[in-house]
């Protein structure tokens, strides 16, 4: 089953090479976690005109069954700004994979969630 993938560009021209890189990264992510229902990737540059090079932001929204959509936003600090779009894509998908690993661990091991719940204490009755 193919998962629908929507790719949008804001503030920059559409690029076939960037689209192919995003599709490749998404295919790898889908092989890692097969329960993805839909995905949306937005590659954007800020609208502010700055004298420095372009900075790229990548946002990924991943739909999972029975849960709220998972939103990953790759907006690094000013000193770590990504001026190469492929680095921004790599970092965003790496963050998505880490978040999906966390969710997969919670889905696979529901008993660990149950350990934290408080249980009622049974009171022993004295027999006369």
Q: What is the pLDDT of residues 96-108, one digit of tens each?
A: 999 988 888 877 7
Cα distances from 41 to residues 33, 36, 71, in angstroms, run 17, 14, 10
Beta-strand pair 57-63/70-74: antiparallel
Q: What is the pLDDT of residues 24-73, one digit of tens each?
A: 999 999 888 888 899 999 998 876 656 566 788 899 999 988 888 899 98
CATH, domain range 5-115: 3.30.160.100
Interhelix angle 16-32/85-108, rounded to 10 degrees, is 20
Closest CA to 13 of 85, 75, 91, 88: 85
H or E element in which residue 99 lies? helix 85-108
Indicate the pLDDT class of residue 110, thresholds 50, 70 and 90: low
CA distance 103 to 2: 21
pTM: 0.75
Closest CA to 3 of 85, 88, 59, 60: 60
CA distance 67 to 32: 18
Rg (CA), the chain: 21
Average pLDDT, the chain: 81
């Amino acid at each position: 089953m193919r998962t629908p993938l929507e790719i949008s560009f804001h503030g920059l021209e559409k690029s076939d090479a960037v689209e192919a890189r995003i599709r490749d990264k998404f295919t790898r992510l889908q092989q890692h976690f097969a329960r993805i229902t839909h995905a949306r990737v937005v590659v954007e540059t800020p609208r502010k005109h700055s004298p420095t090079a372009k900075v790229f932001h990548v946002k990924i929204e991943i739909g999972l069954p029975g849960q709220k959509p998972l939103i990953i936003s790759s907006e690094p600090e000013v000193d770590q700004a990504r001026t190469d779009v492929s680095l921004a894509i790599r970092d965003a998908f790496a963050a998505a994979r880490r978040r999906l690993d966390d969710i997969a661990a919670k889905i696979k091991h529901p008993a660990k969630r149950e350990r934290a719940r408080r249980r009622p204490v049974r009171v022993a009755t004295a027999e006369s």
